[in-house]
Amino acid sequence: MDSKDLNAETYSLDFLPRLVGSFASPASENPTVAIMEAAFRHHRLHYRYINCEVGHDKLKAAVEGAKAMGWRGFNCSIPNKVEVVKYIDELGESARIIGAVNTVIIEENGTTRGENTDGKGFVKAISDVISVQGKRMVLLGAGGAARAIGVEMALAGVSEIVVLNRDESGHALVDLLNKCTPAKATFVLWNQTFDIPANTDIVINATPVGLYPNVEQRLNINVETLKPDMLVADCIPNPVYTLFVKDAIGKGCKHVLPGMNMLVNQAVIAVKYWTGEDVDAEVMKNELKRVLGL
């Protein structure tokens, strides 16, 4: 290579990566940044992922700031998945039905589109293990993650869904499922210890109970009613082995899916939205195991 070629190569370097990130509160326990950065490095994508502490009070300003700084998009996690809908221009079909967004795409002209990859990631994780067709499901929680999972699982073929929530707002999710999906949904007010019905096939925790740093929190369920033929899944990625996951393993449940399965699957979909590239899920999963010491 002569000096002319070297100079051409030097001046072609790009020191302005495309930016994506996450708006959540709490944010420090979210390992998404690690797996996103690992995928960007592996596939040589000129992107950086910025993890930000943002709650409801700063969310509007954060969205405007991301647009002003030319971000390509961002994730939303607790407590922003429903609130962010107010501040974006349009919704994808799935996000519109769910009424919650976890992935926002910012177009070159500054317009924003909200998508929801949580439910899709969960369906993929569970479908890799069992068929969801005709299955009966208990869904713990009725917030943004629960809405995404409930809708996507129903559209994928789950026939019956029991939704538990600590207040009456859970009726809204049940009404949505009954109106917009083929599944039959019922509501249970979660004001006492809940016994999982014996005919349940799938049990999913879509609450933040047990999320770091509150790792000693327990779900208000009777763990004795978890049976070996039930598939048990948790949304929480950190810690990987929540007390709920450990209880399911201890009760001999044949299929137990920690939250990292959904985290990796939804991250793969988000990267596709932002970059147009298909990234290797195993790269993300291996990095997640590394940073969590597994």
Beta bridge partners of 136: 160
d(CA 183, CA 70): 41
User: Distances from the Cα of 77 to the Cαs of 66, 103, 133, 159, 282, in angstroms?
Assistant: 16, 9, 28, 28, 23
* 124 belongs to the catalytic site: no
CB 154, CB 135: distance < 8 Å:
no
Question: Residue type at 287?
Answer: E
- Listing DSSP states for 201-235 in one string gives -EEEE-S-TT-TT-TT---SB-GGG--TT-EEEE-
**Of the listed 58, 60, 81, 285, which one is catalytic?**
81
Count of Cβ atoms closer than 10 Å to residue 142 Cβ: 26
Instruction: Match 């317009």 to its residue by tokens.
Output: 111
Cα 203 versus chain centre, distance:
17
CA distances from residue 102 to 99, 183, 254 in whole angstroms, order as listed:
10, 23, 30
Contact (CB, 8 A) for 221 and 214: no
Percent helix / strand / coil, the chain, rounded to 5: 40, 20, 40
Instruction: Please give the distance of CA 218 from its chain centroid, rounded to a whole number.
Output: 21
User: Which residue carries 């499901």 as its tokens?
Assistant: 137
Q: Are 194 and 221 in contact (CB under 8 A)?
A: yes
- Cβ neighbors of 4 (< 8 A, separation 6 or more) are none
> Can you tell me which residue has the tokens 């709490």?
26
Which residues are annotated as catalytic? 81
